[in-house]
Amino acid sequence: MAYDFDLFVIGGGSGGVRCARIAATHGARVAVAESRHWGGTCVNLGCVPKKMMVQASEYGAQAVDSHGFGWNTEPGTHDWPQLIAAKDREIGRLNGTYAKLLEGAGVTRFEAHARFEDAHALLLQPGPLDARFEPRRVTAERIVIAVGGHPVVQPHIEGYELGITSDQVFHLPERPRHITIVGGGYIGVEFSGIFEGLGSEVQLVYRQLLPLRGFDEDLRTGLHDALLARGIGLHPGTEMHRIQRRADGFLCTLSDGQAWRTDLVFFAVGRTPNIRGLGLDRTGVATAEHGRIVVDADSETAEPGIFAIGDVTNRQNLTPVAIAEGHILADRLYGGRPRDWSFDTVPKAVFFSPPLASVGLNEAEAAERGAADIYLTRFTPMRHTLSGRDRKTLMKLVVDQASQRVVGVHMLGDDAPEIMQGLAIAVTAGLSKADFDRTVGLHPTSAEEFVTLRTRTRVAGPA
């Protein structure tokens, strides 16, 4: 049977665009449908605008820090609409870049919503990107679902609809003077830093005792201290119970009875796959908890010829993972070139100020597998000896005792994500503590501490 396309990708986000582009460069006839915005969550409502806002939020503190170096700079006031407009201009440019990349590779683009009619046919209909799109039916030999996810809301909370999620936070008409953020994960922590840095009073509500469950405990403790040092109000071990509208904002009440007035409640309690309206019931694609699409090691769903990559599979919901999955799939299907990418050593970063970053196993995970040597250091970085800011850097190596391989690296401190990208190569390559020890430091940096740690702090796991 002749199909319209060899490969049809649903979703023009980071993973979908990479998959389409690589497949097309291998000679496949490829199309992509995107209904909302080219570049997906990362470019429009995630990593990219978030990072710009983190950068914006750091200038005020830097102006204050400069006094210790002899400057008399004043922090001044921040213009929120100007930041949003500048950010939107850059995002608009990136949307165009994504579209051009696809066209340059010979990929057919549809600004439409795709819905399965059967395992090889899709109905394309108008979506927010092009309300006048003429509906049409297309067929493809293979289909990749790369539709991403969306923020979870909490309907069990009275007044939950009065709050916002990360889908709205990037386009607020003005900055709230007082914001209450629910959720101690990536988004809750990052936006606590953004709003505090821009001058808002921030209250952070989360149900664990420490934020960022899943990260190394020393990093979580260090982050807790850093949040307090930034003046962010912390409410661990609690959940939002009720939100009520008041003449001057909202009254929010927590599960432990605490209550306060706030200008805005921001829910950052996780994300869930975008499977609604896809027509998966017309295919054999299987889903599991929270609607995540189940795939095998080759990203293939239960329906042969239909694949899923990125956040819709709810595995590691990170842009570079979606990109890697899309690239590997395209290479395998059309390039005759299986690739070997390591998903065990995906580096992770949380862009608070100071940021934190990790690669590999945390101490508890390593201890479960066997004895681990732990090397830990905490110090005041050179910048803050003069700035006078109370900001510690924390660095940690987790070394498998039997093999002496460095299996985990963790850092909280300025430039942690930039440093961790390099160290992720070392951990992916399976380098040993001896390799770190024989590496000459780069002086004066904080990063050199990673190659000068000589004294073991403790042994974790079975003795």
H helix or E strand, kind and range, residue 43: helix 40-45
Instruction: State in angstroms the smallest separation of the CB of 215 from ligand NDP.
Output: 10
Q: Report, as residue numbers or ranges, the catalytic residues.
A: 443
C-beta separation of 182 from 188 below 8 A? yes
| Exposed / middle / buried, residue 314 (Cβ in 10 Å: 0-12, 13-18, 19+) | buried
Interface region with ligand NDP, contact rule CB under 6 A, candidates 54-62, 93-101, 204-212, 216-224: 204-212
Backbone angles phi, psi at 346, to 5 degrees: -75, 120
> What is the four-CA torsion angle of 433, 437, 442, 446, rounded to 10 degrees?
50
Interface region with ligand NDP, contact rule CB under 6 A, candidates 16-24, 269-277, 432-440, 441-449: 269-277
Q: Which residue has the tokens 């090889």?
A: 120
> What is the four-CA torsion angle of 371, 362, 235, 41, rounded to 10 degrees?
-160
H-type alpha helices, 317-397: 319-330, 363-369, 382-387
> Of 129, 181, 187, 198, which lies in the binding site for ligand NDP, with binding defined by CB under 6 A?
187
> Of 11, 176, 183, 222, which lies in the binding site for ligand NDP, with binding defined by CB under 6 A?
183
Residues 338-377 that bind ligand NDP (CB under 6 A): 349-351
- DSSP per residue over 165-195, as a string? -HHHHTT-SS--SEEEEE--SHHHHHHHHHH
Helix, strand and coil content of the chain, in percent to the nearest 5, comes to 35, 25, 40
Instruction: State in angstroms the smallest separation of the CB of 188 from ligand NDP.
Output: 5
Kindly give the pairing relationship between strand 201-205 and strand 233-235.
Answer: parallel
Instruction: State in angstroms the smallest separation of the CB of 126 from ligand NDP.
Output: 29
C-beta separation of 39 from 13 below 8 A? yes
| Residue 208 touches ligand NDP, criterion: CB under 6 A | yes
Binding mask 234-253 for ligand NDP (x = CB under 6 A): -----x--------------
> Of 19, 146, 147, 268, which lies in the binding site for ligand NDP, with binding defined by CB under 6 A?
268
Residue number closest to ligand NDP, CB atom? 185
Between 11 and 461, name the residue whose CB sits nearer to ligand NDP: 11
Binding mask 302-321 for ligand NDP (x = CB under 6 A): ---------------xx---
> Of 235, 271, 292, 384, which lies in the binding site for ligand NDP, with binding defined by CB under 6 A?
271
| Residue 185 touches ligand NDP, criterion: CB under 6 A | yes
Instruction: State in angstroms the smallest separation of the CB of 321 from ligand NDP.
Output: 9
Sheet containing 264-267: order of strands: 233-235, 201-205, 178-182, 264-267
Between 195 and 351, name the residue whose CB sits nearer to ligand NDP: 351
Interface region with ligand NDP, contact rule CB under 6 A, candidates 75-83, 101-109, 265-273, 325-333: 265-273
Instruction: State in angstroms the smallest separation of the CB of 355 from ligand NDP.
Output: 9
**C-alpha to C-alpha distance for 421 and 278, rounded to whole angstroms:** 36
| Residue 164 touches ligand NDP, criterion: CB under 6 A | no
Judged by DSSP in three states, 229 sits in helix
> Of 98, 116, 186, 250, which lies in the binding site for ligand NDP, with binding defined by CB under 6 A?
186
Instruction: State in angstroms the smallest separation of the CB of 238 from ligand NDP.
Output: 9
Number of amino acids touching ligand NDP (CB under 6 A): 22
> Of 110, 116, 206, 352, which lies in the binding site for ligand NDP, with binding defined by CB under 6 A?
206
C-beta separation of 309 from 329 below 8 A? yes
| Exposed / middle / buried, residue 80 (Cβ in 10 Å: 0-12, 13-18, 19+) | middle
**C-alpha to C-alpha distance for 128 and 389, rounded to whole angstroms:** 47
Instruction: State in angstroms the smallest separation of the CB of 82 from ligand NDP.
Output: 24
CA distances to 182, 184, 400 from 234, rounded to whole Å, are 11, 10, 35
Between 209 and 228, name the residue whose CB sits nearer to ligand NDP: 209
| Residue 266 touches ligand NDP, criterion: CB under 6 A | no
| Residue 295 touches ligand NDP, criterion: CB under 6 A | no
Q: Residue 141 gets which letter from DSSP?
A: E
Residues 104-163 that bind ligand NDP (CB under 6 A): 154
> Of 100, 136, 137, 213, which lies in the binding site for ligand NDP, with binding defined by CB under 6 A?
213
- Tell me the chain's radius of gyration from C-alpha atoms: 24
Interface region with ligand NDP, contact rule CB under 6 A, candidates 2-10, 129-137, 181-189, 287-295: 181-189
Instruction: State in angstroms the smallest separation of the CB of 179 from ligand NDP.
Output: 15
- DSSP per residue over 84-120, as a string? HHHHHHHHHHHHHHHHHHHHHTT-EEE-SEEEEEETT
Please give the residue ranges that form the binding site for ligand NDP (CB under 6 A): 154, 183-188, 190, 206-208, 213, 239, 268-271, 317-318, 349-351
